[in-house]
Amino acid sequence: MQLKEIMTCEVECVKPTNTIAHAAKECAISTSGALPVCGENDRLVGMITDRDITVRGTAACCEPVTTTVADLMTRDLAFCFDDQDIADAAELMESKQIRRLIVLNRDKRLAGNRVARRSGDQGR
């Protein structure tokens, strides 16, 4: 089975120039608590999570309305392509010990994401 058959397709992005206050609001309505960060031409440049905002932001005494997403986002991302097998994605997630995986198309544009859930959790 390919990732495009199970990934979440409707993924909201934030821009690197958005404030962390904006990103926090988006995370609050997101089911995964993580947002891809898209730059020019909707190219993926990073990822920001609710944990990045609360832990990194608080530890650095960041102002929510002046600190940008670029200041706190993770830039080094693991990803798979939408036509890859789900076993490849599971192996990557296990080896990197991550729960969220960006899914790109072969043009390296954001196609969706896959969030690992514990048994009993609902949704993707």
Q: What's the pLDDT at 11?
A: 78
Task: Let me know: does 102 contact 77? Beta carbons within 8 Å.
Answer: yes
122 residue type, one letter: Q
- Give tens-digit pLDDT for 10-22: 778 899 999 999 9
Query: What's the rounded Cα separation, in Å, for the pair 56 and 120?
Result: 30
Query: What's the rounded Cα separation, in Å, for the pair 63 and 77?
Result: 25
Among 9, 94, 17, 20, which Cα is nearest to 51's?
20
Which pTM does this prediction carry?
0.79
Q: What's the pLDDT at 43?
A: 84
DSSP, res 70: H
- Give tens-digit pLDDT for 56-114: 999 999 999 999 999 999 999 999 999 999 999 999 999 999 888 888 888 888 876 65
Instruction: Report the top-level CATH class of 3-115.
Output: alpha beta
* Burial group, residue 63, by CB count within 10 angstroms (0-12, 13-18, 19+): exposed
* Distance from the Cα of residue 52 to its chain's centroid: 11
